Structure 1
Amino acid sequence: MTKPILSLQDVTLALEGNAGPVEILHGISMEVAEGETLALVGPSGSGKSSLLMIMGGLERASAGRVTALGEDMTRMDEDQLARLRRDGMGVVFQSFHLIPTMTALENVATPLELAGHKDAFERAAAELEAVGLGHRADHYPVQMSGGEQQRVALARASAPRPRLLLADEPTGNLDAANGDAIIELLFDLRDRHGATLVLVTHSNALAQRCNRVVRLHDGRISAATPTATKAAAE
């Protein structure tokens, strides 16, 4: 049997608040198969984004074990986690997180340069073309719309050809038309590069595009079900 690309075993997360520790996640155990598309859904405050951040090594679990890309993330220091993300993960945030002093091309090329790719700018240009922004390569984030900035963020996340793509509310700051366009691009990039996709969303339409939906409530998994897309594929 193929090993999962992502595995969480009895993961908890407690963050320090004004009145003491606040429990965010309670004993989360789950696996994500290579090539799967998975949606994390639930009401605000249910722990969806915190769980995604733990999956990407951007937040440390208070207890439990997290394994990603064959590596035990709970045993890694910050530098090791950064290298793991650089070499095998792509992360897309709701608020884009582009570097304002860099052009679109430079934003996309930066992770490729950090990974030592000599053709960083050529690959970055190709990714911008793939998201329909080849003509905006020399523009800065402030010169672009929200939809365009999210396209650049998608290009940056996919340019290193990650095995695992994580997206936190990728359409949350966009209007309906731009949100629909980003959804199509996200799944197109996933299909082109064969990545495993895990995303946090409030959109039922987006969740139903995935193979499986995991629902959280009060920091616990309340349901995990295959979608109609998965059922049709089987």
Structure 2
Amino acid sequence: MVLALHDVSLSLDGNAGRVDILHGITLDVAARETVGLVGPSGSGKSSLLMVMGGLERATGGTVRALDHDLTAMDEDALARFRREHMGVVFQSFHLIPTMTALENVATPLELAGAADAFERAEAELEAVGLGHRIGHYPSQMSGGEQQRVALARAAAPRPHVLLADEPTGNLDAATGEQIMDLLFGLRDRHGATLILVTHSRQLAERCDRVVRLVDGRLDAAVREAAE
């Protein structure tokens, strides 16, 4: 299994005290599988995605990714693991405004020690249709173009796992559809496992499997299927 979660829980401290977000999540994801995470707002979808990527540390249970125990890693080890094995795309683009499209994609590769960082970055920007925009800054690009840069940045390290949190949430319907076609194309080109948080029924239907969360728990039908 690429991802294996066993009895995972997540609790966070807020202004009103401790909040329980995830409860006893047990879930396996196979290599090259595409899983859609769906459910009502506040059901824990994004939190589960963050736990899968080691961006949020589970407060109970175990999370294994590519046979590594993320729950046993310190922050530095988690950062290295994500850099080498995972690509993440958010609803907000998280581009560095003072860097060009090419620099935004190449910089993580440089930090990872890739000698061909800029060549790979340019190839990924070409793959998302932005070869003519490599010298432009985020402020000079539309929202759809910025999300394409974010996709290229996530795909450039050739990750084993792609995590996408509502990647079309800030885009109009037509642009969002183009972005999703590109995301699925990147998945196919790199042979990656894709975990996708979405509110779109149409998008969920493109996934190999749909996992529904309700109040931080797996839907009963999902549990039965897993068992």
Same structural fold, with TM-score higher than 0.5 when normalized by the shorter chain: yes
Q: Which residue of the partner structure matches residue 47 of structure 2?
A: 50
Aligned-residue offset at 1:20: 1.7
Q: Which residue of the partner structure matches residue 164 of structure 2?
A: 167
2:98 matched to 1:101?
Answer: yes
**TM-score, length-normalised on structure 2?**
0.96
2:32 matched to 1:39?
Answer: no
Q: Which residue of the partner structure matches residue 119 of structure 1?
A: 116
CA–CA distance in structure 2, aligned partners of residues 52 and 21 of structure 1: 20
CA–CA distance in structure 2, aligned partners of residues 93 and 72 of structure 1: 24
Preserved CA contact (<8 Å) 1:212 1:224: no
AA of the residue aligned to 2:52: M
Provide the identity percentage.
Answer: 76
2:68 matched to 1:71?
Answer: yes
- DSSP 3-state at the match of 1:224: helix
Preserved CA contact (<8 Å) 1:8 1:66: yes
Q: Which residue of the partner structure matches residue 192 of structure 1?
A: 189
CA–CA distance in structure 2, aligned partners of residues 161 and 132 of structure 1: 18
2:222 matched to 1:224?
Answer: yes
From 128, 133, 138, the counterpart of 1:136:
133
Preserved CA contact (<8 Å) 1:123 1:159: yes
Deviations 1:87-129 (CA, angstroms, capped at 9, x unpaired)? 0000000001111111000000011111111110011001000
Deviations 1:202-225 (CA, angstroms, capped at 9, x unpaired)? 011111101000000000000439
**TM-score, length-normalised on structure 1?**
0.93
Deviations 1:51-104 (CA, angstroms, capped at 9, x unpaired)? 000001100111110001110000000000000000000000000111111100
CA–CA distance in structure 2, aligned partners of residues 187 and 148 of structure 1: 17
Q: CA RMSD in A?
A: 0.9
Uncovered stretches (5+) of structure 1, i.e. residues with no partner = 226-234
Q: Which residue of the partner structure matches residue 179 of structure 1?
A: 176
Q: Which residue of the partner structure matches residue 86 of structure 2?
A: 89
The aligned length equals 222
Q: Which residue of the partner structure matches residue 57 of structure 2?
A: 60
CA–CA distance in structure 2, aligned partners of residues 202 and 224 of structure 1: 17
AA of the residue aligned to 1:23: D
Aligned-residue offset at 1:163: 0.3
Uncovered stretches (5+) of structure 2, i.e. residues with no partner = none
